[in-house]
Amino acid sequence: METILKEAINALEKRLELMADSGVAFINDSAPKVSAEDRLERARLSFEGCESCGTASLTISATGAPDSHLVIVASGEHGPLNDKENDLLKAIIEGAFKLDSKSVYTIELNECAAGAWSAEEGGPESGCARAVSLLIGAVRPAAVLVFGPEAASSLLGPDYEAGSLLKARGISLMPTLSLSDIGSDPERKRLAWGHIKAVMGLLKG
């Protein structure tokens, strides 16, 4: 397990380095203040298309407050969430976190980003997946809660442990189970609740 965590942290560091190199995130404290809205706009403008799906424009759904302390990254089994998963996510945000769902920055992966990990290449091959990292870096949250293996793999690669809190460059990231699993399996719901409470503790601290 120690090896898995080390590899996951290394992958997260690599993704955060990408954010830093993009110039949209982690701006030096001595630099003029840049708003979250401006950083997000830079992130969107820096998107150069996706070689995997062939899109020239950013098609990942991202909604909510640009200056949120919490970012949620979620994916269904093959990309966008279905209505049931969306309803459950809203219930978690408003019921567990006691937040308005519009105050949380939520990134919903498209089909390309959800299937982006390439073991042969040793990293994400999709421009859509790289864009997720840019958006997170632009928001600069205190915590990122990632629902589902597709979403977690797009950020961390295949070697990660659900429920293991990772931290790099001041951002804490918690991969947890999919919304589909949480909504259909009471035991997995209890397991994910422990992960969610850990993130709640970070935000309160």
Domain ranges of the chain: 2-26+33-204
Question: What CATH superfamily is the domain 2-26+33-204?
Answer: Uracil-DNA glycosylase-like domain (3.40.470.10)
Task: Enter the DSSP assignment of 120.
Answer: T
53 vs 162: which has the higher pLDDT:
162
Q: What is the pLDDT of residues 47-68, one digit of tens each?
A: 888 888 888 888 888 999 999 9
Q: Please give the residue that has the higher pLDDT: either 55 or 201.
A: 201
- The pLDDT tens digits for 103-156 are 999 999 888 887 665 444 544 457 888 888 888 888 889 999 999 998 888 888
Task: Output the pLDDT for position 6.
Answer: 54
Q: What is the dihedral of CA 71, 73, 74, 78, to 10 degrees?
A: 160
pTM equals 0.82
The per-residue pLDDT for 10 is 62
Distance CA 115, CA 127 (A): 12
Q: What was the pLDDT predicted at 28?
A: 39
Residue 27's alpha-carbon distances to 20, 144, 145, 203, in angstroms, are 8, 19, 23, 22
Task: Classify 16 in phi/psi space as left (phi over 0), alpha (psi -120 to 50) or beta.
Answer: alpha
On average, the pLDDT of the chain sits at: 81
User: Percentage of residues in the chain with pLDDT exceeding 70?
Assistant: 78
